[in-house]
Amino acid sequence: MEVVINSAGMVLLVLAALMLTALVRALLLRPTAAKYAVVPMDQSERATEYGKQLSRLVQKETVSSRFDPDRTKFLEFHEILAEMFPLLHSTCEKHVFHGSLLFRWKGKGKHEPVLLMSHHDVVEADGIWEHPPFSGDIDAEGRVWGRGTVDTKASLFCLLTAVEELIAEGCEPDCDVYLASSCTEEWSGEGAPATVQYLKEQGVRLGMVLDEGGMILEHPVAGVNGMYGMVGVLEKGYGDLKFTAKSSGGHASVPFRNSPLVRLGKFMAEVERHNPFRAEFNAPTVEMFRRMAPNMSFGMKLIFANFWLSGPLLKRILPLVSAAAGAMLRTTIGFTMAKGADGLNVFPQEAYVTANMRFIPHQDKQESIAVITKLAEKFDLETEVIYANESCPVVEEKAAPFRRLEEVAAEIYPGIGICPYVMTGSTDARYYTEICDHCLRFAPLYISGQQYQSIHGRNENIYQGALPLGVDFYKKMIQKS
């Protein structure tokens, strides 16, 4: 007996086969990232002593600004470091570039040198805080409070402590170990570029850079269970642009259509309604979701374990449901400043808005600026590029430095997942791509959801119980380099 299947039946069979394959793939995924107990309430003698030392660093206010050239406060901060880390200062070469620090711990020269870094400048601390922002208070739960605890004096303390303790133990590293800390990171100042220029002049080529970036978080993405160390392997490009609208001006009592402010408003509304930048999945984001998929809810597993099927739809939906996810998939633009007339009853002859852009590699600086410039022209606006740089090279998760980081993390934080991801913000590490092919962005410290939200916000704090693990991480990274 012959069975005849028409075209509609064939389509249904193919769809059924696809859905069955997707279902099986989701069912086969088993949770992998353990809920590792970081013990944030750790009140051990070591954690308590580390907390007191970090508190001292926080109490020294080191707010930086591109409009303040005085480096006195940073030099005073250096004096505190010299008191706290005497072995480091007596053993390592020290260089200061406009208030930014570089140490060289000479090794045996067996491998390429490595550089560990974390800046010591901080942003302003506005608003009302539960504890004063430069108090360094330590509460009953063992949290150290103050601006810079998370961003990034805690990681700076940990890497300096790691070297201090290794020197005390008689360790001699296999390679030269550089420690860098700029005082201009928060406004993309000259500290890191000056440091890189010095290293270039010395002929230094680094095997790895480890800067701030992702940290250790529980539930890093909604619907994902488990603890993850988030490692930045791609940093987006950066741009500041100015859009100007001109007219002959006039008295506000005789309004005219499409005045400068109206044209600027229409332009901004158009960008928000119809994002002009193309969303695409990049390798780090695909790998991030691949590693997280086993610990997702079943519905999410079904979607993210089957990129071959869901990818085209996901790249359209994700930017709509999550601004953070959308920023990993495409160039972003955010309007930041505006100016019109100086008088309340005057139409401006010239008005402008500024915008901050972050460029994605598949639509990098040149193309992204061209796209937004063409759109601005529709509203008779002039575009000026104030500053712009390209996105940084991607560090492959198969590269030796990334694998080394994974290995060390598995020893210090057994069971956690390590995920590459796209850095949507900027770090000093981007300057080091001139002399290093493997710039990783990861601070090996546990932070809670509240602590993550406090970065550049109010009530910044970190558990002192996270500090010993951070120190141990840096020590092992140095020993394995």
| pLDDT tens sequence across 137-169 | 999 999 999 999 999 999 999 999 999 999 999
In the predicted structure, residue 235 carries a pLDDT above the cut 90: yes
DSSP class of residue 429 equals: G
CB under 8 Å to 439, separation ≥6 — which residues? 208, 209, 211, 235, 392, 393, 395, 429, 430, 432, 433
Which of the given ranges, 28-37, 217-226, 416-425, has the highest pLDDT on average?
416-425
In the predicted structure, residue 24 carries a pLDDT above the cut 70: no
Calpha distance 103→82 (Å, rounded): 12
Reported residue count of the chain is 481
CATH 3.30.2320.50 fits 45-235+393-479, yes or no: no
Instruction: Determine the topology of domain 237-389 in CATH.
Output: Alpha-Beta Plaits (3.30.70)
H helices of 274-364, where? 283-292, 298-304, 307-321, 323-329
Choice among 36-40, 51-55, 340-344, 411-415 with the minimum mean pLDDT:
36-40
- Predicted confidence band at 344 (pLDDT cuts at 50, 70, 90)? very high
Q: How do 177-181 and 250-251 pair as beta strands?
A: unpaired
Report pLDDT for 16: 60
- Predicted confidence band at 1 (pLDDT cuts at 50, 70, 90)? very low
Report pLDDT for 19: 60
Report pLDDT for 307: 79
pLDDT in tens, 82-99: 999 999 999 999 999 999
Percent of the chain that is helix, strand, coil (3-state, to 5): 40, 25, 35
CB under 8 Å to 271, separation ≥6 — which residues? 333, 335, 372, 375
Report pLDDT for 325: 87
Arithmetic mean of pLDDT, 400-407: 97
Arithmetic mean of pLDDT, 390-400: 95
Q: 166: part of which helix (H) or strand (E)?
A: helix 154-168
Q: Where in the chain is the domain with CATH 3.30.70.360?
A: 237-389
> What are the CA-CA distances from residue 342 to residues 150, 352, 397 (Å)?
40, 13, 53
- Predicted confidence band at 39 (pLDDT cuts at 50, 70, 90)? low
Calpha distance 331→388 (Å, rounded): 13
Place of tokens 């590459």: 420
In the predicted structure, residue 327 carries a pLDDT above the cut 60: yes
Arithmetic mean of pLDDT, 341-366: 96
Percent of the chain with pLDDT over 70: 92
Percent of the chain with pLDDT over 90: 78
Q: Where in the chain is the domain with CATH 3.40.630.10?
A: 45-235+393-479
H helices of 330-437, where? 365-377, 400-412
pLDDT in tens, 101-135: 999 999 999 899 999 999 999 999 999 999 999 99
- Predicted confidence band at 17 (pLDDT cuts at 50, 70, 90)? low
Q: How many CA atoms lie within 13 A of 205 on its CB side?
A: 3
| pLDDT, the chain, mean | 92
